[in-house]
Amino acid sequence: MKSLQARHPEAGFTLVELLIGMALMSVVLLAVFNVNLSSTRASMSLQTRNDLLPETQIAQTYLLSKLREAAYVYPTSTTFDLGTDPTVRNPRTGSGVWTVGTDAFVAVVLPPRSGTPNCAVTAPAVPDTANCYTLHAYYPVLRSALTGSTTLSSGRRPSAEPLNDSAWVLMEYRRSFGKLTGTVFPVPAANTTQGAMVMDYLLPVTLPQVSSVPDRLFSLAGDAGIQQVGRTAITVNLAAQRQVGGSPRVRVPGSGRSTVTVFPRNVGKGIGLN
């Protein structure tokens, strides 16, 4: 006698089961995507931090090396007109006019580097730091003022990054005087000298830099009257901030600013050989 085999209908998925499975799969894929996105952003933030830290340290070291050699520190309320170039444009006024103590601006004069200087009577077109007293000014410009310029060469402007248009770029303005005589360091008239980039992604400070504002880029002490070694001081407060892609803004240091005070060692000597 033939054995009878029970016939069972083949099992299958209902539409509801398929929809539930797809929904669960979507949740899993979304979770995986979010984990990967979070990991990518964390990696980008870490890389950005690693880029900003040496940029800040190098800029600070460079500034201090120059300010330490100053023979004169232009005192609070001194006003400079640096011209109309985008590299000297004041983020507070939109012009090339800067005032020490009101703007985030510091200016010093460095003595000739040569022991036997021979500066020309007429100010040289190119800075002659070996033979002449040379003005060094440090100040910020809006990053977008540089990236949006159609007149600057590529070497004088950073790469365009719309996410960081509101950041600042720390600049150096360098200009030698002709042979100086007398006892007073002059304020030069405006010309076409351009500034050079020292530090990108500088975190802005509050403007104007009135005395009641603690968030200052530069602070002076002992700058009025006769300047003296050990009494005249310049404090530099630097911080950087940058945003890359969809990651949060990265700030270095994480809070506050990196603060260093320097005491110029050539002040109080007047105008010497040049």
Mean pLDDT of 90-118: 96
What does the mean pLDDT of the chain come to?
Answer: 87
Q: What is the pLDDT of residue 81?
A: 97
Contact (CB, 8 A) for 123 and 178: yes
Q: What is the reported pTM?
A: 0.84
User: Cα torsion for 30, 36, 38, 39, to the nearest 10°?
Assistant: 160
Share of the chain above pLDDT 90, in %: 67
Q: Which of 217, 178, 212, 195 is nearest to 80 (CA)?
A: 195
179: which 2 tokens? 């042979």
Q: What is the pLDDT of residue 4?
A: 46
pLDDT at 61 over 90: yes
Digit-coded pLDDT (tens) for 177-229 = 999 998 899 999 989 999 999 999 999 999 999 877 788 999 999 998 889 99
Q: What is the pLDDT of residue 37?
A: 47
Q: What is the pLDDT of residue 136?
A: 98
- Position with higher pLDDT, 265 vs 50: 265
Q: What is the pLDDT of residue 249?
A: 87
Mean pLDDT of 236-249: 89
CA angle 189, 190, 193 (to 5 degrees): 120
Mean pLDDT of 81-105: 96
Neighbouring CB atoms inside 10 A of 4's CB total 6
Exposure letters 37-62 (e unless 16+ CB within 10 A, then b): eeeeeeebbeebbebbeebbeebbee
pLDDT classification of 254: cutoffs 50, 70, 90 = confident
Q: What is the pLDDT of residue 144?
A: 95
Strands (E) located in 62-181:
72-73, 79-81, 97-99, 106-110, 134-142, 168-176
Q: What is the pLDDT of residue 1?
A: 44
Digit-coded pLDDT (tens) for 3-32 = 445 555 555 567 665 666 666 666 655 555
Contact (CB, 8 A) for 271 and 182: yes
Residues 27, 29, 32, 34, CA torsion sign: negative
pLDDT at 143 over 90: yes
- Which of 63-67, 227-231, 243-247 is least confident? 243-247
- Which of 6-15, 53-62, 120-129 is least confident? 6-15
